[in-house]
Amino acid sequence: MVDYPGCFAWYELMTTDMAAAERFYGNVVGWGSQDASTPELAYTLFTAGKVPVSGLIDLPEEGRKMGAWPRWMGYVGVNDVEVTVNRIKRLGGAVYVPPTNTNIGLISVATDPQTATFGLVKGLKPGRQQPAESGKPGRVGWHELRAADWEKAFVFYSEIFGWQKADAEISETVTYQLFSAGGLTVGGMFTKRPEEPLPFWLFYFNVEDIDAALERVKAGGGQVFEGPHELPGGSWIARCADPQGAVFALQGRQSHGSKIGWSTEWSGFSSRGRLLAPKPRDRARTPDSES
């Protein structure tokens, strides 16, 4: 049985340069690494302390030829992969990788009806990240779905994983719906702007100092293209891309005061689904300092 059914249990980066990605995330997030390769597959574990928290794998050549790009994917723990796969198909999703025994457990890779990719896993071998530990540095602290239609997406995921609606924040144009799994609020979803990329899952990595981490992103050849934005309670978030193009987000405290003001990016919502109040603009703060 899965300890936390319906919760994200594992994360995997599929990239075009494993060695470069290992160096980049080790520097930015502070992850260690362990080789977990098999004769058939090169595989690296990212670790927070001694705890495996995610995996690193090469993007297959056939995938590159088909236009696949580097990306992070989250695996949700389930008690029966076969049953869940059949449910996904019945509800309009697609299955890219059928149930397969791998070095991390029995997995499958699928998309929801709006083409956002996610994975399923049973019998996770590297060890489980407990939801209660998601607030620690180096862990994935939040899961965000940028959907084509969040209401339809929520119906799908609630049917598949039993997710429940938590709080929601509503602006003039956007609703940010939080969801819970296993009794814990673990993420949010909203309808993305039409000009944004295809629907996808965005994962937030915890860092101790957001400013220092963003400097490391840029120094390592990555990009910071949204944020940092302040959350109620004093934490900050930013959306980034690594040098190979995989998108991720960071969240953490600031070690000093910032001159970066409020921005309307993310439609005024934080990763926690809480509205960001506009900062006063009479203190020489501007909303256009995004880098």
Q: What is the pLDDT of residue 172?
A: 75
Position 235 pLDDT exceeds 60? yes
Q: Give the chain's domain count.
A: 2
Q: Is 35 left (phi over 0), alpha (psi -120 to 50) or beta?
A: beta
Domain membership of residue 108 (yes or no) is: yes
Residue whose C-alpha is closest to residue 245's, from 110, 59, 120, 94 = 59
The pTM assigned to this predicted structure is: 0.86
CATH number at residue 113: 3.10.180.10
Cα 94 to Cα 89: distance, rounded to the nearest angstrom: 6
Q: What is the pLDDT of residue 40?
A: 85
Q: What pLDDT score was predicted for residue 129?
A: 60
| Residue 291 within any structural domain of the chain | no
- pLDDT higher than 60, residue 203: yes
Q: How far is CA 42 from the centre of its chain?
A: 23
At 169, the pLDDT band (50, 70, 90 cuts) reads confident
Q: Which of 131, 157, 185 is the last residue before a domain boundary? A: 131
What is the residue range of 76's domain? 8-131
Q: Is residue 36 part of a domain?
A: yes
Within this chain, do residues 48 and 148 fall inside the same structural domain, yes or no? no
268 vs 291: which has the higher pLDDT: 268
Comparison of pLDDT for 266 and 112, the residue scoring more = 112
Q: Does a structural domain hold residue 279?
A: no
Of all residues in the chain, the percent with pLDDT exceeding 90 is 66
Picking from 131, 155, 171, the residue at the C-terminal end of a domain is 131
The reply to whether 237 and 259 lie within a common domain is: yes
User: According to the model, what pLDDT value does residue 58 have?
Assistant: 94
The mean of the pLDDT values for the chain is 85
Q: Domain boundary residue among 71, 103, 131?
A: 131
Q: Is the dihedral of CA 242, 274, 201, 41 positive or negative?
A: positive
Q: How much is the pLDDT for 130?
A: 64
Higher per-residue pLDDT: 3 or 273: 3
Same domain, 119 and 143: no
Position 286 pLDDT exceeds 70: no
Looking at the fold, whether 139 and 261 belong to one and the same domain comes out as: yes
Q: Please report the pLDDT score of residue 128 as a whole number.
A: 62
> Residue 221 has which token pair?
């050849």
**Is 3 inside a domain boundary?**
no
95-99, 164-168, 203-207: which range is least confident on average? 164-168
Give residue-wise pLDDT tens across range 57-78.
Answer: 998 877 777 778 899 999 999 9
Asked if 12 and 21 touch (Cβ cutoff 8 Å), the reply is no
Q: Report if residue 1 sits inside a domain.
A: no
Looking at 11-20, 69-78, 274-283, which range is the least confident one?
A: 274-283
Residue 274 domain-assigned (yes or no): no
Q: Say whether both 112 and 159 belong to one domain.
A: no
pLDDT confidence tier of residue 36, bands split at 50, 70 and 90? very high
